[in-house]
Structure 1
Amino acid sequence: MSRGTQERVRSNASKTMGIKLDGGINAISLNKDATQVVAAGRQVFKIFHIEEMGFRERIDLRVGRMNLNYSCNDVAWHPSKDELIATGATNGAVITWDLNKPQGNKMDQVFSDHKRTVHKVSFHPKEWYMLFSGSNDGSMKFFDLRSNKCETTYGNGQSECIRDVQCSPHQYFILAATLDNGHIQFWDYRVPDKVLLDFPGHNGPAFNLDWHPEESKWIATCGRDKIIKIWRWEGHGNVLEPEYTIYAIASVNHIKWRPEKKYHIASCSGVVDHTICVWDVRRSYMPFAVFEEHKDIVTGIAWRQDPHVFLSGSKDSMLFQHKFKDAKRPAESANPVGVSMSIYDDVCHAFNKSSARTSMQSQQNYASTNFPMRFRRTPEVSEQYERYESSLLVHEQKEVKFSESFIKSAKRYILTGKPFPELCEHNAQVAMDLGRHQIAQTWRMLRLFYCTDTASATPPVYTNKGIPPTEANDSDKDISAPQFALNHLPSHHDFLNPTASSAIDSTGVTDDNESIVSDSEHDHPSYGAPMRGKRRHRSHDGAVDFYFPLGEGEEEEEEEEEEEGGVFGRYGDEMQEWNDYAGLPTEAFGQRHEIQDRPPSPDRLQDRIRPESPVVPLLDLEPTAMTMNSQLFPSARSLNQTPSKQLPELQLSIKFTPIVVNMLSDYAEQGDVQMAVSAFIVLDSKIRNEISSEIQEQWFMSYIDLLSRFKLWCVSNQVIKLSKHPAIEILNQQSTTIYTKCNRCNQTLEKLSWVCCQKNRQSFTNPCSICHLPVKGLYAWCQGCSHGGHLEHIREWLKTNQYCPTGCGHQCEYT
């Protein structure tokens, strides 16, 4: 561009202005003098003059019979010929337009070599007849405008579509392209059969690229991963080395270097963000300037060869010319203070050095009063870039970190494979070992609420003789008075049904200086039937009682005597004599006033007997019946009960379930989703229906995310398997397909993962890249370049080397 043209462009760009078109804009392009702009879309294809007060329409190229050739996906104006324009259509056609044609249709040539949508068309910057295109069919094509036919096809047979194609303005034969798989390719357009470099630059599709207008070795790319990368490429035989990285808030669709500014680049997003950002590549997270005129997705950016003016088109049908002085500067309103917390509870605090910044500003702006006004110079507002000096403080926690207890608990907790009581007790012990006493108490409470194993709490089972089975079979086992008094206590049922009671008589008590003396022998000689079941063995140390089974005749005599004595005739007197001899009080505490014994009548007791059930709950007895009489003599039917009929204690699981649900919810709200999820898995069906599916999913997703952050993959997989939630169980079934390529021909392995069948040959794939021998056992490979080998060889190589051992140039990383 001549100096006169540049001055005219600068003078015409005095303000921000725009024009409304008939439809959304997919692409824009400027002519070589930057005085005209073409806007193309599916419903619009017009050329405008750029004047000082606005845009003036020059030509509407949508004339004649409309077809898909007019549905433009991209447009490029020839860099040296003002009459030549090229477009790529959604039907796969590449069309050239001759503006020197007389009135009417300006369409010149139509190339229908592509089978799918054309994403990009571009001219060679120095050869007027060379036109390149990239399509969704995975190929790039070179069209010779002299012969009006397709001369060369690049990357034929690729499975990934081509997003952008551009020739280097500094290297004559170099062609660069970005693909949908995130790779960046470099070609020598004279050699269509071999790619110079295929480098994985982005995670996801790479949408656009742009060569730097001044730095011949710089190229910028962008993609769906919300990252703009500035690469340095030294040429053939070298790999891409990242120079700068910019992090946007949304996927980036288009980028364009700012002329005359080495470190500035403009970008626009494909979703969410409708602004145009101009970045200083040295500042990765905050744009240098922001333009907010558009109300929909921006689809094209073109600089008017003036660093202060550029044009943009959008899906909102607006074509704008932006003046740099009207931009917003995010850095001026940014908070210079930041606080962040790591997963290990360390706090990082960043703040600006106000004194250093003030001194720097005074030096730059000459704001000191020692200088006269005429010597003070203020830089242009559009070029001010304030550099901040910040301090960074990291506060580490010296106490036991939450991360340590979290990791140890996750590894040591047992969630399945054992009975419920053992799981609760084990997890409680784990919490106690880590000093988490509240968690341990919670586990023990859950065990009490839902435990069904009552073996430890159930009294021993008695035979019909009132003796435990182990004692009934061993006649030589002696039973002392205290042991009998504590372990062989009768229940109230013995008084209601005395015939079912066992033959028991009172035993002796031991004094410190005297031998054992039988109460029944001194005070109750008339109780002969019970005494027939006991034999006394005397020795020089004292008397010891032995119990022997009674014969059938003795049992009948005993039953007759009990019938004659009535219900309370025998046992009531014997109980009273026992209390008198032992000196035991009838009440645990002293009486405040005299209590008169009013035993219930036999009729009343008979009314309370329930023939349909052999068990009478203790809660149904009158308070007067709850005396020592019901605790002295044992009964087989009252002690040998099933857990479900003993007491309503097992109903606690139903009664306390709402409390347990609230407790787990409280743990989750406090951030301890580990306890909430672990207890939920252990309880399983006991409370699963009490908690909504949405809350379960939220708990599990939070806990799995924490486990993933601490790299506890095995624990995370176990939690997923035990969740029994449809939305959680599918997590470990996603992204399980691994795509492998041959490390020789770089073709996808379709049938077998260890044999390459491409190009009518079969060969073994993936030998070790270091020792070149077949790998038997663990095989480690790079997902970027598909090279690999023995695990130990690759690990040792990457400890001291950064690039692939095969020499492909890929920067591999061992994780």
Structure 2
Amino acid sequence: MALRWSSEFFTAMEHRDLQANAMAVDSTGTYVLLAGRRYIAIKDLDDVDPDNVRKFPRQSKYDVGVAEWNPTSYHNELCVISCNQRLEVLTWRMGELIQTHSLRAHTRVITDLNWHRFDPNLLASCSADTFIHIWDMRDARRPALSLSAIAEASQVQWNRISPNFLATTHDGDVKLWDQRKGSAPMQYIAAHLSKIHGLDWSPHSETQLTTSSQDSTVKFFDVCNARRAEFVLTTNAPVWRARYTPFGNGLVTVVVPQLRRGETSLHLWNYTNRSSPVHTFIGHRDVVLEFEWRRQRPGDSDYQLVTWSKDQTLLVWRIEPYLQKLCGHDPEEVRADELESDVMETASEASAVITQPLQQEFSLLNVLISNLEVNKMDYFKRFCSVTATANNCVVNLNVSFPNMYPNGVAPVFQIAPGSKVKESVASQLLQTITQTAQQRVAKNRTCLEPCLRQFVAVLEQLTNDPSDSNRSQHRPILESAEMVGSFNDACVPFPRTSGAKFGSVGTLVCFGQSLRHRRGNAKVDATTPRALSALGSNKFGYKINNGHNLPSYFLHKHRHRSKYHHKTIVQKSVITVYDVSGLLAESRQLAEQYVLDDSVSRICKLNSEAAASIERWDLVQAWTLAELAVASQQEEEDMQWSKHPFGYQLIESLISHYAKQSDLQMAAMLSCLYGKGQEELNSKKTSQCLASSQQLTRGKRLLKNSSPYHTIPPADVVAEGWVFPLLRTVRSNSLDNFPLEEKHAPVPQKYQCSKQFEYYKLAYAEMLHRWGLLYNRAEVLKFLCTPAEAHKGVEFLIDCQHCLKPVKNNACPNCKKLAFNCVICHISVRGSSNFCLVCGHGGHTQHMERWFSRNKICPSGCGCNCLIETAGIFS
């Protein structure tokens, strides 16, 4: 049962003429902005006169949707409001409110906006047009980055701790984005079955967020494991907003205004005990439209909540210490450094842009260094505190990082109070780690982990028992030798004990250490292992069954026997192979059905039917369009797209589109049609094109070293004396491997696309090879227009039986006759053949194989034992 107390508010004002439906409080907690269709008002919250309000008229037929002040101290004079499809950026300075920017990019109504909490120039907005735009105030002409979400976006909010992450809501789903990788969301959370009205990141954890929904619940998620909510808070009405309190484990909720007109209160919850609200704020006569927390003043133990209602009443509530205790926060136990957080926050906001390297260093720090305990790491305050213990000595070390670290500026090390160590030892510790830090930052390298490792090792060496005379006598030499061995590997990466790798045919291979092994290695050695063998006997391997790899799980067993018990312990390292082909654009089923026939029309029709059989209607349209653009048509038609210059430009655009979508299969198949259609188009004019002897001679020269399977005309191979370089088959079908720059002769612009098409064909052929579709692979390779690579290695030649000149192929280029006959059937050999390396006799491969399956002597009657003699040469 909720405690419905008569809450007290120390400020109340009513202004019905404003008709405002949006409210925002500035970062200093001094001013509140109220925005509506007729006015924008600014009120000083410290002014006790409720009528002292600055009003600025505005004329618009649209209501203001959202308003927000810039949360940073650098641009705390900026505020922004949304009006239909437009964002208006306003500047509050010297008692005047001036519009400085009008941001236009959305095509439908803007649903939410949010300033970046660390970069004062960044603003995110979302709209019903499915786009999330990120604006940079330094160049507000267009969005700096646009994220496409497909579904309507209703909420957007930057992470309160990590500067690159933001979250958006779409109906009942949440998408998480990284502004450094804006092409697609990095994570997707199916949060609710009903629409999400509110979204809020935790101010204490970068991975925690809450969602409030039409289904009358508030769900708490950890984005590191977002398959299900960590816990759910259930209310008796749809929840409009749910936001964390700046203290303890509190949460404030309001109901949906459009659906619950009679509910005018706010509820304060302790989300660790979700049975009922700990407090209810009663005072408004109509639904609450917006609420925000006012910044706490230094030395004040109370927090203040500012609310604006549909009754055009502004209330400021004082959250006294007893309410804070109900949410798990005791102001009397606040430490001195937290009381100074306002000053530190102001300094950190000014340098927030350069905190990212320090944050990364903290996140990658190995906290399992022996004899070392990490007490605190705060990259906003740029501070770290650790404790090292060795030989009954305890040393507390504080590390402060200047703003320019690690660019030539070393951190500052201090021995903190509470340390139990001699002054001489403390002095030598500081001298050693400071020298190490300076050597690292001189090369613009981070130095925290190497310094901490050296800090522990030197402490152990300096506090050893001095009764060992030999140790004391040679301590300097031993120290230097041991330090070299301890810290040479400080930068050696830790062996990869887990990971994931995509295969080229729709597989994802994941591996990791066994649970028993991870528990057994809670404490690691001070030196970095250089190989997996240093981690113990637990290794990875494959379990083979009948000569084939198992399709899903591979278990490698290791047995260990203890000293006193003959108990066998089996450890398993699991390697999992997932089938992710359903997530990729390429399809093996389509690869089996696709054809590359002699007729472009037939190719397009059959491939269109294949795409329709698996309901890929987008590919059906592409194949239909390709047939219109490439295939030759009837002479009586007025328009033939294959003859029109736009026809082949359209095919190039299609190929480029599917390549950008990472659909290598479709890009390669259309690349095969690119030259095929031109070949059909020119088939009727072949006699005219080859009438002159010069053209005929040039054609022979170009075809001299080409494969007989090349069906692309020479015009696609050679242009203006430039020949496409042979693209070697690579072991990866990623389009990232395509060489964009040619190191040798420059490629003519009009033939650059053909070079890309060759790569698509080769990469797709490699994919078909991995699928085992060898016939389909051979069909694709026939469409390569690059010349064959010159043979490198041993090559066997024969002498023509007519002119006795060396011959490389079946036909003699000297006498123009077939070079040799089969010794069994006495017919000229045109295909596959085999010959004895000793006597030189041979013939058709099938005839020779059938002969030597029953005989040992050469069929010519020369008496040579061909099989044995030839084997003797190779042995």
Same topology, TM > 0.5: no
Structure with higher RCO (Cα < 8 A, 6+ apart): 1
The TM-score, its normalising length taken from structure 1, stands at 0.38
The TM-score, its normalising length taken from structure 2, stands at 0.35
